[in-house]
Chain A
Amino acid sequence: MTKKMVKLIFPQELIKEPVTFRMAKQFDVIPNIRRANVTGTVGELILELEGQDERIEEGIEYLTKLGVKVEPIVGDIIE
Chain B
Amino acid sequence: MGYVKGLRCRECGRGYPKESLYVCEYCFGPLEVDYDYEGIKEKLNKEVIEYRAKNLWRYRELLPLDGEPTVGLESGFTPLIRAVNLEKALGVKELYIKDDSVNHPTLSFKDRVVAVALSKAKEFGFDTVACASTGNLANSVAAQAAIANLKRYIFIPADLELGKIVGTLIFNPILVAVEGNYDQVNRLCSEIAKRHKWAFVNINIRPYYAEGSKTFGYEIAEQLGWKAPRNIIVPCAGGSLITKIWKGLKELQNLELIDRIDTKIYAAQATGCAPIVTGIKENSDIIRPVKPNTIARSLAIGNPADGIYAFRTVKESGGWAEDVSDDEIVEAMKLLAATQGIFTETAGGVTLGVTKKLIEQGRIPKDESILICITGNGLKTQEAVTEKIGKPIKINPNIASFEENIGRERRM
Q: Which residues of A contact B (CB under 8 A)?
A: 5, 9, 34-35, 37, 39, 41-44, 46, 48, 69, 71-79
A34, B26: Cβ atoms closer than 8 Å: yes
Partner of B27, one of A34, A39, A71, A77: A34
Most buried by A among B26, B28, B191, B282: B28
B186, A74: Cβ atoms closer than 8 Å: yes
Give the chain B neighbours of A48 by CB distance below 8 A. 28
Query: 8 Å CB contacts to A: which residues of B306-350?
Result: none
Partner of B284, one of A41, A75, A78: A41
Partner of A73, one of B28, B194, B284, B285: B28
Give the chain B neighbours of A42 by CB distance below 8 A. 284, 286, 288
Between-chain CB contacts (< 8 Å), 27 pairs = A5-B28, A35-B29, A37-B285, A37-B286, A39-B284, A39-B286, A41-B282, A41-B284, A42-B288, A43-B286, A44-B286, A46-B28, A71-B289, A71-B303, A73-B28, A74-B187, A74-B203, A75-B22, A75-B189, A75-B190, A75-B193, A75-B194, A75-B203, A76-B190, A77-B25, A78-B194, A78-B204
B204, A9: Cβ atoms closer than 8 Å: no
CB distance from A60 to the nearest CB of B (A): 12
CB distance from B128 to the nearest CB of A (A): 14
CB distance from B67 to the nearest CB of A (A): 24
B193, A78: Cβ atoms closer than 8 Å: yes
B23, A77: Cβ atoms closer than 8 Å: yes
CB distance from B209 to the nearest CB of A (A): 13
**Is B49 an interface residue when CB atoms closer than 8 A count as contact?**
no
**Is B11 an interface residue when CB atoms closer than 8 A count as contact?**
yes
Main secondary structure of the interface of B (DSSP, over half): loop
A17 to B137, CA, bound (A): 41
Provide the B1-43 mask, 1 if CB < 8 A to any CB of A, else 0. 0000000000100000000001101111100000000000000
**Is B400 an interface residue when CB atoms closer than 8 A count as contact?**
no
Most buried by B among A71, A75, A79: A75
Give the chain A neighbours of B193 by CB distance below 8 A. 75, 78
10 closest pairs, A vs B, by CB?
Answer: A75-B190, A44-B286, A74-B190, A75-B203, A42-B286, A34-B27, A34-B28, A35-B27, A75-B193, A46-B28
A8 to B412, CA, bound (A): 67
Count of residues in B whose CB is under 8 Å from the partner chain:
26
CB distance from B302 to the nearest CB of A (A): 10
B285, A5: Cβ atoms closer than 8 Å: no
Partner of A74, one of B11, B286, B305: B305
A9, B194: Cβ atoms closer than 8 Å: no
A46 to B25, CA, bound (A): 12
Give the chain B neighbours of A75 by CB distance below 8 A. 22-23, 189-191, 193-194, 200, 203-204
Partner of A39, one of B187, B191, B200, B285: B285
Give the chain B neighbours of A73 by CB distance below 8 A. 23, 28
Report the nearest B residue to A46, measured CB to CB: B28
A79 to B303, CA, bound (A): 25
A41 to B278, CA, bound (A): 14
Report the nearest A residue to B302, measured CB to CB: A71
Report the nearest A residue to B303, measured CB to CB: A71
A38 to B409, CA, bound (A): 66
Report the nearest A residue to B196, measured CB to CB: A78
A72, B27: Cβ atoms closer than 8 Å: no
A72 to B189, CA, bound (A): 11
A5, B289: Cβ atoms closer than 8 Å: no
Give the chain B neighbours of A72 by CB distance below 8 A. 187, 190
A74 to B305, CA, bound (A): 8
Told that A41-B282, A76-B190 touch, could you supply 15 new A-B pairs with CB distance under 8 A? A9-B288, A9-B289, A34-B28, A37-B286, A39-B284, A39-B285, A42-B284, A42-B286, A69-B288, A75-B194, A75-B203, A75-B204, A76-B194, A78-B193, A78-B204
A61 to B344, CA, bound (A): 41
Query: 8 Å CB contacts to A: which residues of B184-227?
Result: 186-187, 189-191, 193-194, 200, 203-204
Report the nearest B residue to A11, measured CB to CB: B288
Answer whether A35 and B194 are a contact pair too, CB < 8 Å, given A5-B23, A71-B303.
no
A37 to B401, CA, bound (A): 71
CB distance from B199 to the nearest CB of A (A): 12
CB distance from B325 to the nearest CB of A (A): 25
Report the nearest A residue to B288, measured CB to CB: A9
CB distance from B279 to the nearest CB of A (A): 10
Report the nearest A residue to B190, measured CB to CB: A75
